[in-house]
Chains A and B, each alone.
Chain A
Amino acid sequence: MSVSTEEVKKIAKLARIELTAQEEQRHAITISTVLDFVNTLNEVDTEGVEPTAQVTGLEDVVREDIVKNSTIKKELLAQMPQVSVGLLKVPAVFSDSEDVI
């Protein structure tokens, strides 16, 4: 199974990670190696086997929906990269630039 540099570019865009040309080439090689390796799973007969998503067997763990006061607003704001009048500042979400998948 080999992944091309073009495919790496596409995945990286989906994953929101900017890669240099060298990184794209390097990841194409290493990701192909990893995929070859994990393809050994095809040797195992899994016909009719239930997939495992969790191992505790716990189901529907719920709690009362009670509103609690948070006392750490100041500390949370202090962690934000940009703050304006006590609110998190972010770049414009909508833009005219080309479509982004």
Chain B
Amino acid sequence: MKLNELTIKEAQTGLREKKFTAVELTQACLNKIKERNAELNAFITVCEESALKEAQLADEMLAQGKAMPLTGIPFAVKDAICTAGVRSTGAAKILDNYTPPFNATVIQKIREQGGILLGKNNCDAFGHGASNENSMYGPVKNPINLDKVAGGSSGGSAAAVADNMCIFAIAEDTGGSIRQPASFCGIVGMRPSYGRNSRFGIMPMASSFDTVGPMTKTVEDMAIVMQVIAGNDPLDATTVPEIVPDYTSEINQDLKGLRVGVPKEYFEAEGMDEEVRKIIEKQIKNLEAQGAEIIDVTLPLTKYAIAVYYVLVPSEVSSNFGRLDGVRYGVRSEAKDLFEVYSKSRAQGFPEEVKRRILIGTYALSSGYYDAYYKKAQQVRTLIRRDFDRVFSDVDVLVTPTSPFPAFGLGEKSSNPIQLYLADIFVSPAASAGIPAISVPAGETSAGLPVGLQIMGSRLSEGLIMRVANNIKK
């Protein structure tokens, strides 16, 4: 096995047992990036020099017996997350030259635990998209089939992990941006509960939805990274004070007596792929064979989740993106006056979808439309949350497909925004409710495309959903 193909757990063991060095491990990842990035476009920035320097330091630490959980483990970061001293564009030209002077809290924590930053992953600009075709640095291709999308918005991170260009990645999930590409590329991706992980240093998209989470090769690796990054942060007032449980031991428990809910709405969606349905149904039978009790449940508001999302998210976007104006940082366009500085910098620095969302949000929040759109969507959001609260009194977790279909073709859905929005139909509800959800590989279609299974749990049940995910065998 090549070093870059190792999991975090395997790499930790190998480094401690001196089977290989952190420099060798890092070089193996860098070699893979060199070999494949021109094809996949998974990285916008690669930190070859600094990564190798960090690896040398890691080897010294290891030699002195001072290794920490992630010492010498190379990782990649979605470009919409700030990394100190390393260019962070958010995949939009308005930040083409932006080098943050600080780390996002989650990145700071990983760096303090010895993680080696390999580079920054391509994504849909600022997380706006479900196919990674809205990047101003070109689309990301699916490593399993180059004619297919990698999913989005964290498509670059998913492709990088799936293609073994890194050992793990850190990405961001506002409405499915970690889980959907994880399912399309055949890896593990989790959106934590809103408030579990700090968002300080994440480029904000929709603040009442945004979360940050890991993308990994195994569930065990997911638990290892979550153990490092979860927890309260004074720099993010939305982080909750609850103590972080011991995820790495919790995931090894069996499923006996666990109540698994199967919401019928997630199997009846329009455009549902038959093969995907069969793979998920087979996995549900496997869970039953392992001692779980399978219970049919209903979440009637599921079909409205995307509509709620596309009112509230553009509204929050239109407000959050006021900061991107070419004045204090980023790219300022040539202009004759201040108004033009704003309007030209934003015209040249945002791709079409970002502009569309800002315009929709500006419209929805404008006087005369606020109650009809924003308030109405917030009320339906309450009903979606109640739907989940109700079922979680009867079941411990919910199991669904992550996406109604496997990875679709590049360009296939890019001409119609609604088509693309609907790709998030199964991942969006958890985002509205602020509950945790994980996508884990469940099988492959006859064409060899990965299919992801999603497990959702009540707020702060990350350990439980990872435990169920750890018992899914492809």
Contact = CB atoms under 8 A, between A and B. Distances in A.
Contacts of A30: 356, 417
B111 interface: no
Interface residues of A, number: 55
Contacts of A13: 343
Nearest to B435: A55
Interface string A34-59: 11011011111010011111111010
B381 A51 contact: yes
Contacts of B138: none
A97 interface: yes
A27 B331 contact: no
Nearest to A45: B383
Interface in A12-29: 12-19, 23, 26-27
B301 A51 contact: no
B194 interface: yes
* Range of interface residues on B (Cβ < 8 Å): 35 or more
B383 A46 contact: yes
B373 interface: yes
Residue among A19, A49, A75 with the highest chain B CB neighbour number at 10 A = A49
Contacts of A38: 307, 310-311, 373, 377
A82 B355 contact: no
A81 B238 contact: no
A31 B356 contact: yes
Interface in B249-289: none
B360 A31 contact: yes
Interface in B192-210: 194-195, 208
A40 B304 contact: yes
Given A30-B356, A90-B327, A51 B378 contact: yes
A18 B343 contact: yes
A67 interface: no
A31 B364 CA distance: 11
Contacts of B347: 17-19
A17 B307 contact: no
B184 interface: no
Interface in A73-101: 75-76, 78-82, 88, 90-93, 95, 97, 100
Interface stretch (B46-54, B96-104, B113-121): B96-104
A27 B329 contact: no
B376 interface: yes
Interface of A: 3, 7-8, 11-19, 23, 26-27, 30-31, 33-35, 37-38, 40-44, 46, 49-56, 58, 61, 63, 72, 75-76, 78-82, 88, 90-93, 95, 97, 100
Given A27-B359, A56-B194, 4 more contacts: A17-B350, A37-B418, A56-B434, A72-B102
A-B interface, 8 closest residue pairs, ranked by CB to CB distance from nearest: A55-B434, A51-B378, A75-B101, A81-B332, A46-B379, A16-B342, A18-B347, A18-B343
